[in-house]
Chains A and B, each alone.
Chain A
Amino acid sequence: MSVEIEPGQAQEPAGAGPARPRPARPWWMRPAFHTGIVGAIIGYFLGHWLGNLLSSGYARNPLSDMNDFPLVLGYVIGTIGWLVGLGVFNDLFRQMLGRPVPVLEEEEAGASGLARYFRYTLDHKVVGIQYLVGMIVYFCTGGLFAMAIRTELLSPTYHIMNASSYLTVVGEHGTMMMMMMSSVVLGPFGQYLLPLMIGSKRMAFQRLEALAFWLTPPAYVILLSGVLLGGFPTGWTGYAPLSLQATQGMDSYAVAFGIMGISLILAGFNIFVTVVNYRAPGMRWSRLPMFVWSMLTVSFLMVLSVPVLVGGLFMLITDRTVETAFYANTLGGSSYLYENLFWFFGHPEVYILALPGFGIVSEIIPVFCRKPLFGYRVAGAGMIGVALLSFFVWQHHLFDSGINPEMRPLFMLTTELISIPTGFIYLVAMGTFWKAKIRFTVPMLFAMALYFNFLIGGISGVFLSDVPADTTEHGSFFVMAHFHYTIMGGLIFAFMAACYYWLPKMMGIRLNQRLGYIHFWTMFIFFNSTFLPLFAVGMLGQPRRVFEYARNLQPLNDWVSISSFLLGGSILIFLINFIWSTVFAREKETGNPWNSRGLEWQVSSPPPPGNFAHVPVVLSGPYDYGVKDAPPVADLNPPAGVVSASYATASVGAGE
């Protein structure tokens, strides 16, 4: 089933005429970033005042002049004020007042210039670019915190930060990365490319999509503001009861993560509705690009697991503000409740991080091997298998915590089983490389690095899934090395591959290839140099999140720290390349520089407003390289009647 065309007319509420073209106002009079900030400030003060009014009896911390309740309400109402200032609710109010509501075509017709990137917009391509810039900012912020951690760990005895600052830095790094990087591929590349890849002119819920992006700046700012409130001592996991004991910075963590969680839920919801309902005629499930499959599975993970996190954090906030006792053992609650709620989200979360990486590399390697993707069905089954199984493994984070001991063989089994569908991705890659014509372009190098890094990360995961081995490894730097190899070595390398591969499509310019090669080699070498020794550091007994460690581990820690600074340097090279290429050099790269069969490459770069002049009819899969006389991937100018005929067939009988 697929929807073919936009409704012919703009939305017409009862009693009003067709939409009037809106008078063009100067950018500073239209709702945008700057009005959002004004709204946020007003909202924060309103919330803070309201919180003090409501909670005047709850002096939770008698040593402080600011209680948690006004802080939490300030953040929440501040976020609502930010959205109001941005104009998120304007269309809603217009409908309620019976006035016409703008549609995408109007907006695209009048769109030009930089200002639209600072507005609440219906165009998914603009949202994609907004996400890309945002994600790079969030990643670099988290990365700076990481380098601060490694600076502290240069010496086991000489400390450059006090204990509270160190734990705050650790928590900020972890939380910034984990909550933001969940959308690092889905945001920039999922939102931008999905309609292009399935032959659609739009996403299903355009306003939800933009809202999902505009929730990320408040999450970022609220999380960072925790530093100003004394920080939080729990790391990104936020375990109770330490999080109940902590002071005001903990509220920043809970609210920021909750807001980002809402963003994830909305983005995921939008994506799977779009993929199910907005595919062009001929875009059967068996022709769907592998990247779209990864977005589809990730979106299900988001929608099903993130609400559990939001619920758990909500209970944390009520424990801290209105004196409920969900997580306090001595008052009838249970610390295990938080752990289980968090990890029920936490495990699908890491697959939300890993699967887009798989999708990107599965998309890139056929192009640069000039061969079809080997085992399309196996790859799809791998993604679906990983997504399904990821809900059944979460207690492997809790093997030593005192859970029912008989549960542990069960979770060991499910965790070991999940390595089978993960292995399918390798089968598919190895088959694609067989007798290929491999071109070593920058995106291809990053994609191959993912396979190298994720192998190490994945096999170390098998070590962790084994309960006896986990007795030594749990909570140590071995775990750290494992997840950095899978998440940074997997997802972030794939993100870089996607940047180099798809930036010509998204912006019509190419990133400098020489800088790209330098970026790749420095990042790959220093990434491995940073994280490979950490397996040994963990096995030799250094726990996570400590600032003092055994003296004999200092050489290893110093090697790791210096490598991490050099790794930061390689990310700087990427930043320089990105900013130089997009702002200053702007070398044009239109058309299809990689000679890819992907549907997104069949339109101009950047794509025209509306993506396709007419809804295309898809004729074959995107991976038919080497097939003699392969039909083109789609007919971009279908004869009149073809599209409506296919729509009729679908409604009558067994259409796809």
Chain B
Amino acid sequence: MAESPAPAAPAAPPASEPNHGLRIFLIWIVLALAADLLIWLVWYPHFPPGDMSSSAQHQQFDIGVLALTAAPVMLFVWVYFGYALVTWRHRRGDDEDGPPIFGHTGLQATWIGGTAVIVLAAFVFGTVELIVPAGAGAGQGPLPVWKPAGHNYLQVQVIGQQWAFTYRYPQFGGMESTQLMLPVNRPIEFHVTSLDVIHSFWPYLLGVKADANPAVDNVAYTTAKHTGRFVVRCNELCGLWHGAMYNYGRVTTPAAFQVWASGTEAAERRSGVLAALPPYRLTYDPTVVPQLGRDVVKVAGITGANGYYYPPQDPEQP
């Protein structure tokens, strides 16, 4: 592979040949600075997933930094190609071939080095952003390594089943709720599990996502920073009504949360619901449910919506 007879990079050009490299660089630097300023000052405060929780805030920052890095890179490629298409398009009547430039070691080395530096910096940044916010709201499996400081966790178990999420609070007697209520400014330890197939717990505004696997306890952390309402969606295709598998949650003040939680626990204790629920465990085997008092239909070791969590008049069996 031959070296080019004339250097391809910006070097001393003949007087009539404009300095293409410099022009491209100037166009790029102006556009890149403008884009980055726009992103940081105008767009960043509105980035998903918002700032309702600690993990959401960190993700917002993370996505912002990635956007700040990505915009100049993309603009560089676009500006270069745009300039090339305009400047070096074929002119009618010119049937010459272009200059035989096979490569340029310096340029190639600079590119490889530059991209490697950007990529490694992104890796370091991503790792820091993963560890510092206690796992960035992502499910860490049964043995989490990155936990928030302090010991005042609120433990919430999220149970996914075809096709609803329910929430159990072990610190309140293991009572179960269909609405996820949370206190503000207190670290929350989610334990996500499933009763049948793989689901995924995604409270969008809290910046948490953890897959719900049967017989697996998947732990994720966050701390809510603002009160408000949020939606919880299932994020892993789990069968027919996956699209309809969502409910709502609310972040309230600690006092309101305490009132709600103890009140619900007391109500369920009184009505006998608490006694009817299976004892609180980190995972459940729904093929063994003594309280149900009858045979649970299981196919290939799975229960779920094959027929016995929903009465016959409910929508389709799978």
Interface residues of A, Cβ cutoff 8 Å to B: 60-61, 162-164, 166-167, 233-235, 237, 239, 241-242, 244-247, 286, 319-320, 323, 325, 328-331, 333, 335-336, 369-372, 374-378, 399-406, 408-409, 412-413, 416-417, 419-420, 423-424, 426-427, 430-431, 433-440, 448, 451-452, 455-456, 459, 462-463, 465-472, 474-476, 539-541, 543-548, 550, 623-628
How far is B49's CA from A476's CA once the two chains are assembled, in angstroms?
13
A435 and B98 within 8 A (CB)? yes
Q: Which residue of chain A is the closest to B202 with respect to CB atoms? A: A543
A436 and B88 within 8 A (CB)? yes
Q: Which residue of chain A is the closest to B216 with respect to CB atoms? A: A402
CB < 8 Å neighbour of B90 from A408, A437, A541: A437
Q: A430-B81, A451-B77 given as contacts; is B304 within 8 A of A625 (CB)? A: no
What residues of chain A lie closer than 8 Å to B58, measured between beta carbons?
A: 468
CB < 8 Å neighbour of A469 from B59, B236, B242, B302: B59
A405 and B198 within 8 A (CB)? no
A438 and B119 within 8 A (CB)? no
A468 and B133 within 8 A (CB)? yes
Q: Name 4 extra pairs, CB < 8 A, besides A329-B301, A402-B216.
A: A323-B300, A471-B207, A472-B49, A623-B102
Most chain B C-beta atoms within 10 Å of own C-beta, residue among A286, A370, A471: A471
25 contacts between A and B (CB under 8 A): A163-B241, A163-B315, A164-B316, A239-B236, A239-B237, A242-B238, A330-B214, A335-B198, A335-B216, A375-B104, A404-B141, A420-B112, A427-B111, A433-B81, A434-B84, A435-B20, A438-B89, A459-B70, A462-B70, A467-B130, A472-B49, A541-B204, A550-B231, A625-B97, A626-B99
A437 and B96 within 8 A (CB)? yes
Q: A241-B300, A330-B214 given as contacts; is B81 within 8 A of A416 (CB)? A: no
Question: 6 closest A-B pairs (Cβ-Cβ)?
Answer: A468-B136, A546-B243, A371-B98, A626-B97, A329-B215, A328-B301
Q: B residues 169-228 with Cβ under 8 Å of A?
A: 196-198, 200, 202, 204, 207-211, 213-216, 218
A626 and B98 within 8 A (CB)? yes
Most chain B C-beta atoms within 10 Å of own C-beta, residue among A329, A333, A452: A329
What residues of chain A lie closer than 8 Å to B140, measured between beta carbons?
A: 402, 405
What residues of chain A lie closer than 8 Å to B137, measured between beta carbons?
A: 468, 471
What residues of chain A lie closer than 8 Å to B275, measured between beta carbons?
A: none
Q: A163-B315, A471-B136, A540-B48 given as contacts; is B84 within 8 A of A626 (CB)? A: no
How far is B85's CA from A451's CA once the two chains are assembled, in angstroms?
13
CB < 8 Å neighbour of B235 from A335, A372, A474, A626: A474
How far is B89's CA from A420's CA once the two chains are assembled, in angstroms?
29
B103 and A431 within 8 A (CB)? yes
Most chain B C-beta atoms within 10 Å of own C-beta, residue among A319, A330, A430, A436: A330
What residues of chain A lie closer than 8 Å to B302, measured between beta carbons?
A: 241, 244-245, 328, 330
What residues of chain A lie closer than 8 Å to B78, measured between beta carbons?
A: 452, 455
Q: Which residue of chain A is the closest to B219 with respect to CB atoms? A: A402
What residues of chain A lie closer than 8 Å to B200, measured between beta carbons?
A: 400, 475
Q: A233-B318, A406-B145 given as contacts; is B299 within 8 A of A60 (CB)? A: yes
Closest approach, in angstroms, between the C-beta of A408 and any C-beta of chain B? 7
How far is B137's CA from A424's CA once the two chains are assembled, in angstroms?
34
What residues of chain A lie closer than 8 Å to B111, measured between beta carbons?
A: 423-424, 427
CB < 8 Å neighbour of A405 from B129, B141, B239: B141
Q: A241-B300, A376-B1, A423-B111 given as contacts; is B138 within 8 A of A399 (CB)? A: yes
CB < 8 Å neighbour of B242 from A427, A431, A545: A545
Closest approach, in angstroms, between the C-beta of A127 and any C-beta of chain B? 34
Closest approach, in angstroms, between the C-beta of B122 and any C-beta of chain A? 6
Q: Is B63 an interface residue (CB 8 A)?
A: yes
Q: Which residue of chain A is the closest to B77 with respect to CB atoms? A: A455
Closest approach, in angstroms, between the C-beta of B300 and any C-beta of chain A? 4
Q: A451-B77, A459-B74 given as contacts; is B240 within 8 A of A163 (CB)? A: yes
What residues of chain B lie closer than 8 Å to A475, measured between beta carbons?
A: 200, 202, 209, 235-236
Interface residues of B, Cβ cutoff 8 Å to A: 1, 8, 20, 47-49, 55, 58-59, 62-63, 66, 70, 73-74, 77-78, 80-81, 84-85, 88-91, 94, 96-104, 107-108, 111-112, 115-116, 119-120, 122-123, 125-127, 129-130, 133, 135-146, 196-198, 200, 202, 204, 207-211, 213-216, 218, 231, 233-244, 246, 285-287, 299-302, 304, 306, 315-316, 318
Closest approach, in angstroms, between the C-beta of A261 and any C-beta of chain B? 22
B236 and A547 within 8 A (CB)? no
What residues of chain B lie closer than 8 Å to A468, measured between beta carbons?
A: 55, 58-59, 62, 126, 129-130, 133, 136-138
How far is B67's CA from A601's CA once the two chains are assembled, in angstroms?
44
B103 and A463 within 8 A (CB)? no
What residues of chain A lie closer than 8 Å to B243, measured between beta carbons?
A: 163, 166, 545-548
Q: Which residue of chain A is the closest to B238 with respect to CB atoms? A: A242
How far is B96's CA from A626's CA once the two chains are assembled, in angstroms?
8
Q: A375-B108, A463-B63 given as contacts; is B210 within 8 A of A400 (CB)? A: yes
What residues of chain A lie closer than 8 Å to B77, measured between beta carbons?
A: 426, 430, 451, 455
Closest approach, in angstroms, between the C-beta of B264 and any C-beta of chain A? 27
CB < 8 Å neighbour of B98 from A408, A436, A546: A436
A625 and B100 within 8 A (CB)? yes
A405 and B145 within 8 A (CB)? yes
How far is B140's CA from A378's CA once the two chains are assembled, in angstroms?
39
B1 and A286 within 8 A (CB)? yes
What residues of chain A lie closer than 8 Å to B241, measured between beta carbons?
A: 163
Q: Which residue of chain B is the closest to A434 with respect to CB atoms? A: B8
CB < 8 Å neighbour of A374 from B63, B103, B145, B244: B103
Q: Which residue of chain B is the closest to A549 with respect to CB atoms? A: B243
A329 and B213 within 8 A (CB)? yes
How far is B248's CA from A71's CA once the two chains are assembled, in angstroms?
42
How far is B73's CA from A456's CA once the two chains are assembled, in angstroms?
11
What residues of chain B lie closer than 8 Å to A419, measured between beta carbons?
A: 115, 119
B207 and A472 within 8 A (CB)? yes
What residues of chain B lie closer than 8 Å to A426, measured between beta carbons?
A: 77
How far is B129's CA from A412's CA once the two chains are assembled, in angstroms?
12
CB < 8 Å neighbour of A331 from B218, B301, B318: B301
CB < 8 Å neighbour of A451 from B81, B104, B316: B81
Closest approach, in angstroms, between the C-beta of A557 and any C-beta of chain B? 13
How far is B139's CA from A87's CA once the two chains are assembled, in angstroms?
53
How far is B111's CA from A319's CA once the two chains are assembled, in angstroms?
50
Closest approach, in angstroms, between the C-beta of A258 and any C-beta of chain B? 19
Q: Which residue of chain A is the closest to B288 with respect to CB atoms? A: A330
What residues of chain B lie closer than 8 Å to A628, measured between beta carbons?
A: 100
Closest approach, in angstroms, between the C-beta of B215 and any C-beta of chain A? 4
What residues of chain B lie closer than 8 Å to A550, measured between beta carbons?
A: 231
A376 and B102 within 8 A (CB)? yes
A241 and B196 within 8 A (CB)? yes
Q: Which residue of chain A is the closest to B91 with respect to CB atoms? A: A437
What residues of chain A lie closer than 8 Å to B231, measured between beta carbons?
A: 541, 550
What residues of chain A lie closer than 8 Å to B242, measured between beta carbons?
A: 167, 545-546
Closest approach, in angstroms, between the C-beta of A413 and any C-beta of chain B? 5
Q: Which residue of chain A is the closest to B220 with respect to CB atoms? A: A400
Most chain A C-beta atoms within 10 Å of own C-beta, residue among B77, B145, B208, B243: B243
Q: Which residue of chain B is the closest to A540 with respect to CB atoms? A: B48
What residues of chain B lie closer than 8 Å to A286, measured between beta carbons?
A: 1
Closest approach, in angstroms, between the C-beta of B234 and any C-beta of chain A? 7
CB < 8 Å neighbour of B240 from A167, A323, A371: A167
How far is B237's CA from A476's CA once the two chains are assembled, in angstroms?
11
What residues of chain B lie closer than 8 Å to A372, measured between beta carbons?
A: 100-102
How far is B97's CA from A544's CA once the two chains are assembled, in angstroms?
49
Q: Which residue of chain B is the closest to A459 with respect to CB atoms? A: B70
B209 and A167 within 8 A (CB)? no
CB < 8 Å neighbour of A330 from B96, B127, B215: B215
Most chain B C-beta atoms within 10 Å of own C-beta, residue among A404, A456, A546: A546
Q: A376-B103, A437-B98 given as contacts; is B204 within 8 A of A472 (CB)? A: yes
A436 and B119 within 8 A (CB)? no
Q: A375-B103, A541-B204 given as contacts; is B119 within 8 A of A242 (CB)? A: no
B237 and A420 within 8 A (CB)? no
Q: Which residue of chain A is the closest to B109 with respect to CB atoms? A: A378
B123 and A377 within 8 A (CB)? no
